Structure 1
């Protein structure tokens, strides 16, 4: 039965699985773009964003394709919602690639009627994707899963992932400089930003591009969104460790450890969000941030 074999799905959501496969191919294409196209946009290789989005969307679709199999109720609703998410994810990715080919930005770009329309379509798409993910999360939370540790991991991971996706909305707010430009007539066609306290396009971390001179709202967005992959992985690790550590063979012990991990992860999402909003780079935390991190680790250990 599905409830007694939580990690063995019986029916994957095929459109989600197909989308994950398409994103794997597009990740390879974007990687080739990094090697063959030397254009730079906002301080980063122009094909880096399509690569990151292909990987992120691929992981998202692969995960929910599996989770679909754990939904014994409202399967038709879940199918329709998941398929809608796939269509909109492909639309969003197509816009990102279109803008790369045009040599301009996709996010926050309202400099021309076309760019404004494309960004509006992306905004509407992600709003529907978030709503669809919310529906799937509710269905998952209400689904019976016999293994307690797996149940805690999937439910808390889905909720934290939903929060992480929602945190992306923080990037759409106009910065203080953009507000000033709108007021004095020097508007440059950009509303919203990744960075806090510094302009987008400054020095960034390798691969991720996260700002090393100011806050970066992509960090809490990323950390929260991928709770849905990390927490089930913790369960899998505990199951493996139980072979050598008899104490972990008790399902209640594993469930409590996963609950502590989920609570700590929620604290981490809050911490990196707070740090980013204060305009502080992840790589250069101040004393206050370090003290909060120490308190979080201490609480988890206790």
Structure 2
């Protein structure tokens, strides 16, 4: 199910990419369809990654049942997110930080949907954590568990702070200088940096696990995974505190 919904999100780009080319309306300095496309790409990467990881879990009945529920929750959450952001683009109105009472209420409810989406990462991470009889090398299994769990643990405060504030900047940009493609401010604190790092713990930490598989000493391999996971968490926390202090990451 995870792979199917991930592919469906990728195919939905066949609607928004032509819209980007044909619709010249602008909102807050960028084309109205840029944000939906960013969401589509991010969700597709997240869902396909979880689908690949799910294929590595043991195929026992309990795990299969858990994955079915995860897939259902993520399907509904993804559909809600895309309808919200895409619908806002259609009417050329801001989906985030919109002061209109109705849009503000929807924004708050979408916080619950976003929590459901990252809960999928936590549940799958716990599945790897408890799968002691996994056929995977121990360093890789541990890195998958830690990366997925950290994605939830690190994203929750970053996303919660973003939702609680009136914007993602800490400070007032003067020139509007940003990092290309990502759009992060190069003048003031930008909470999106920490949010990005948090969401990609499920990619970064497993890569450390892949590297650790080359070590002949299992204890050393596990130690490398733990050190890498803690280091990545510290980096994300630093980016979060740096943004709150009003300092740009770049």
Instruction: Tell me whether the two structures share a fold, i.e. TM-score over 0.5.
Output: yes
Within-5 A mapping of 1:112-131: 112-113=101-102, 115-131=103-119
Corresponding residue for residue 44 of structure 2: 58
What are the Cα deviations for residues 242-270 of structure 1, in whole angstroms up to 9, with x where unaligned? 4xxxxx34444433333222121111111
How far is the alpha carbon of 1:29 from its aligned partner? 4.1
Matched, 1:147 2:137: yes
- 1:42 and 1:200 in contact (8 A); partners too: no
Q: Which runs of 5+ in 2 are unaligned?
A: none
What are the Cα deviations for residues 128-186 of structure 1, in whole angstroms up to 9, with x where unaligned? 33444433333332222351210221121012111233121111123xxxxxxxxxxxx
How far, CA to CA, are the matches of 1:272 and 1:57 in structure 2? 22
- 2:32 and 2:89 in contact (8 A); partners too: yes
What are the Cα deviations for residues 18-63 of structure 1, in whole angstroms up to 9, with x where unaligned? 1111222234544444433333322233222112211111111112
Label 1:64 to 1:80 Cα distance change in 2 as closer, same or farther (>3 A): same
Give the paired residue count.
Answer: 244
How far, CA to CA, are the matches of 2:219 and 2:14 in structure 1? 42
- 1:160 and 1:266 in contact (8 A); partners too: yes
Matched, 1:163 2:157: no
Of 125, 132, 154, 1:137 maps to 125
- 2:125 and 2:144 in contact (8 A); partners too: no
How far, CA to CA, are the matches of 1:21 and 1:32 in structure 2? 18
Within-5 A mapping of 1:284-295: none
How far, CA to CA, are the matches of 2:95 and 2:234 in structure 1? 31
How far, CA to CA, are the matches of 1:78 and 1:257 in structure 2? 29
Matched, 1:94 2:83: yes
- 1:193 and 1:200 in contact (8 A); partners too: no
How far is the alpha carbon of 1:281 from its aligned partner? 0.9
How far is the alpha carbon of 1:90 from its aligned partner? 1.4
How far, CA to CA, are the matches of 1:217 and 1:143 in structure 2? 35
What are the Cα deviations for residues 168-222 of structure 1, in whole angstroms up to 9, with x where unaligned? 1111123xxxxxxxxxxxxxxxxx3111112799432211111122111111111
Label 1:235 to 1:130 Cα distance change in 2 as closer, same or farther (>3 A): closer
Bigger CA radius of gyration: 1
Q: Which runs of 5+ in 1 are unaligned?
A: 1-14, 175-191, 243-247, 284-302
- 1:140 and 1:155 in contact (8 A); partners too: yes
RMSD: 2.5
How far, CA to CA, are the matches of 2:86 and 2:243 in structure 1? 28
TM-score between the two structures when normalised by the length of structure 1: 0.72
How far, CA to CA, are the matches of 2:249 and 2:15 in structure 1? 30
- 1:194 and 1:217 in contact (8 A); partners too: yes
- 1:149 and 1:251 in contact (8 A); partners too: yes
Label 1:282 to 1:38 Cα distance change in 2 as closer, same or farther (>3 A): farther
Matched, 1:85 2:74: yes
